[in-house]
Chains A and B, each alone.
Chain A
Amino acid sequence: MRMPRFLHAWLMLGPALLLLAAFTHVPALATLWHALFSTPTPRRPAVFVGLNNYAALAEDPIFWQALWNNLLYALGTVPMSIALALAMALWVNGRLRGRTAMRIAFFTPTVLPMIAVANLWLFFYTPDYGMIDRLTRLLLGWGPTNWIGSQETALGAMMAIAVWKEAGFFMIFYLAALQAIPPSLLEAASLEGASRGRIFWRVTLPLLGPTTLFIAVNAVINSFRLVDHILVMTQGGPDNATALLMTYIYETGFRFWDTAQASALTGVLLAVLAVIAALQFSLLGRRTHYR
């Protein structure tokens, strides 16, 4: 009985493990290994440099700016998209008029490829005759604003697009979770005279815990990964105001072709994500243990 079971387990695990190793772990380890060497060129083969590539990063002001920008970006987009996703889900799950149309509106950004839609956003952000400037002029009497062309607003503009792209996607998961809550629970609470707000905080929100964990993990990873719109719209500019770790890795790896430095950057990104993941699992995971 023990042998076949063991065999079954490896038969089931085998394909996934093989592919994971071949396309993630081996190349990732190779990447970290390469970070300990200089970038090889046909004229200069790679030499072992120890932690020099990391030391070079520590001295690189653009790296620090990208890291800082990325933390701001994560802090801005993660809670915002989760909060909006929850609000959207509550609204389209409720009794509001036209919730089908709303569902579609919220979900639309998910199916629009970023590479195309970033160009439409360019129109929204265009100074003077762009959509946002038209609205701010009409409603607030503001003059033209160079949204993506000035240091102060560029990162915020990129964050807004990320939230727009993600919130509707996360809404779907909240919506599913909300619909799975037995109505009897809510009715019982309501009969006891609890207000809507109270029901939300005491009943609904705790039940959404696992979903929130799922979404939070996704949102954090995305805040370090989804940079297509930045590559299309600002390429990290002006003067690195919208540079994030991933755009800087992309730039270092595929524009500068400095693979060793890019590998070191990847190492840093891995470390950052590992720390965040550990925090997340221990904080959220503990509270939402439902086994």
Chain B
Amino acid sequence: MSITRRAAIGASLGALAASPFLAAPAVRAQAPVELTFNYPIAVGGPIARIIDGYCDDFQKANPGIRIRQVYTGSYQDSITKALTAARGGDAPDMACLLSTDMFTLIDEDVVVPWDGLPGAETSWMGSFYPGFMENSRTGGKTWGIPFQRSTIVMYYNKEAFKAAGLNPEVAPASWAEQVEFAQKLTRRSGDTVSQWGMQIPSSGFPYWLFQALTTQNDVRLMNEAGNQTFYADPKVAEALQYWLDLAQKHKVHPTGIVEWGTTPRDFFERKVAMIWTTTGNLTNIKTNAPFEFGVAQLAAGRKPGSPTGGGNLYVFKSASEAKRAAAVKFARFLTEPERAAQWGIDTGYVATSPEAWETAKMKDYVAAFPAAAVARDQLRHAVAELSTHENQRVTKALNDGLQAVLTGRSQPQPAMAAAQAEAERILRRYRG
């Protein structure tokens, strides 16, 4: 087994020396190119089965290429594994990692841009929603191809809306309306609350949900070069004040940190009438909500808005020319409109190109289940997820500030100023 693999690699290296072009029939006949592809899910489960299917189909259509898919767990485990392997000189050839890992991967110098790889035409790289590309490009180059992507939407309990005298077909459209709805939806018995109006999760990665609020308040958190943040902008503190007020002033939102992982369950248990969470939760909520629910775009502040999220496809620097060409082929195969549409329908992730939404099967699906299109429609207002050089550290500064405010440790203004100072300290050397 390992002997044949080594022989295959040796042969492919030999073939590579003889001919730089993968498509040359002689090469294809004798030595398949093996492409290691890391994917951020654990083995098994429905998504792994879908990816396995794609790999098989691709190999059938391209006998010269063998995909070796490696499932690497959560996004966090995946980047840990990819970078550990890269530092050990054993990087994968291609991987799906968070779009926000872009700067980290560039700084570590382990990935190459897609531009200029054989077969990566501009028309293909331009075929995705611009909202998704914001996190995939920097310095005029495309580093990531959007694939497993998502955004934040609001899910609400239609029964609770009816009970509160609200029209179940209309979700709050503005921040003021959101508070008003939430007040009507909050049910108290004595001192305790039996149903909260709304909740926005704040454990783990509160910056992502907070970024929806800042976008709605018409302020950006970082620049495109990823070397400056704007946490100290008064509009940022204002957005945070709004979040804090939901809990402290209006008392329509649970106090303290709201757990991301249990938020869908809180919703099923009717402990909360409106929740913010990822579009990736659509299938889960559809299966498990014991009541009729609605999906809506997030309410607008000064303007509507939400960050995108999720994973992009990257090509690693250590991959040979032949492997890079194979990676382009495979990425193009994965993002073909028909396949992207089916992927979106099967998983709840947002199909990443407008063409995918124009396919017949997607149109039928949306007609039967209009909620699926909410995320797509919101993409017009979507911005890039917070991502900078030394991303995790700069993000942690914001996360800590947010949690300090939400747990009553600090006030919005000073907390955001402190977060900005920390981010500034880290990012200063990436400028000029």
Contacts and interface: CB of A to CB of B under 8 A. Distances in A.
Given A149-B258, A151-B409, A254-B80, A237 B203 contact: yes
Contacts of A151: 407-409
Contact of A255 (B76, B107, B266): B76
B204 A256 contact: no
A146 B253 CA distance: 13
B261 A122 contact: yes
Interface in B253-276: 254-259, 261-262, 265-266, 269, 271
A143 B192 contact: yes
Contacts of A43: 107, 109
B192 A144 contact: yes
Interface stretch (B123-131, B361-369, B396-404): B396-404
Contacts of A247: none
B411 interface: no
Contacts of A238: 202-203, 256-257, 403-404, 406-407
Nearest to A153: B256
Contacts of B406: 238
A237 B108 contact: no
B174 interface: no
A251 to B, nearest CB: 8
A256 B76 CA distance: 11
Contacts of B109: 41-43
16 contacts: A122-B261, A123-B262, A128-B271, A146-B254, A148-B257, A149-B257, A151-B407, A151-B408, A237-B257, A239-B400, A239-B403, A239-B404, A251-B392, A255-B396, A256-B390, A256-B393
A257 interface: yes
A153 B107 CA distance: 38
Given A41-B107, A237-B204, 16 more contacts: A41-B109, A122-B261, A123-B262, A127-B254, A129-B269, A146-B255, A148-B257, A148-B259, A234-B203, A237-B203, A238-B256, A238-B406, A240-B400, A255-B392, A256-B390, A256-B392
Nearest to B77: A254
A150 interface: yes
Given A126-B262, A255-B76, A143 B191 contact: yes
Closest 4 CB pairs of A and B: A42-B109, A149-B257, A146-B256, A239-B403
B285 interface: no
A143 B261 CA distance: 22
A247 to B, nearest CB: 12
Given A122-B262, A129-B271, A255-B392, A149 B256 contact: yes
Contact of B104 (A127, A128, A235, A257): A257
Nearest to A152: B407
Nearest to B408: A151
B356 to A, nearest CB: 33
A258 interface: yes
Interface of B: 76, 80, 83-84, 104, 107-109, 191-192, 202-204, 254-259, 261-262, 265-266, 269, 271, 390, 392-393, 396, 399-401, 403-404, 406-409
Contacts of B255: 146, 150
Contacts of A251: 392, 396
B223 to A, nearest CB: 20
Given A122-B261, A256-B392, A257-B83, A239 B409 contact: yes
Of A123, A143, A149, chain B has the most CB atoms within 10 Å of the CB of A149
Interface string A23-47: 0000000000000000001110000
Of A127, A238, A240, chain B has the most CB atoms within 10 Å of the CB of A238
B261 A239 contact: no
Nearest to A235: B204
Contacts of A122: 259, 261-262
A41 B76 CA distance: 20
Given A149-B256, A254-B80, A237 B261 contact: no
A241 B400 CA distance: 10
Contacts of B396: 251, 255
Contacts of A150: 255-257, 407
Contacts of B407: 149-151, 238-239, 241
A123 B404 CA distance: 24
A118 to B, nearest CB: 10
Contact of B108 (A143, A148, A257): A257
A151 B390 CA distance: 27
Contacts of A234: 203
Contacts of B107: 41-43
Contacts of A129: 269, 271
Nearest to B190: A143
Interface string A107-138: 00000000000010011001111000000000
Nearest to B272: A128
Contacts of A144: 192
A55 B269 CA distance: 50
B265 to A, nearest CB: 8
Nearest to A147: B256
B405 to A, nearest CB: 9
Interface in A197-252: 234-235, 237-241, 251
A234 B205 CA distance: 10
A56 to B, nearest CB: 10
Contacts of B83: 257
Nearest to B258: A149
A153 B154 CA distance: 30
Contacts of B108: 41-42, 257
A256 B107 CA distance: 12
A254 B148 CA distance: 23
Nearest to B402: A239
A127 B80 CA distance: 32
A151 B83 CA distance: 33
A132 to B, nearest CB: 13
A150 B254 CA distance: 11
Contacts of B80: 254
Contacts of B408: 151
A200 to B, nearest CB: 43
A61 B269 CA distance: 39
Contacts of A123: 262
A143 B189 CA distance: 11
A41 B191 CA distance: 55
Contacts of A128: 271
B412 to A, nearest CB: 14
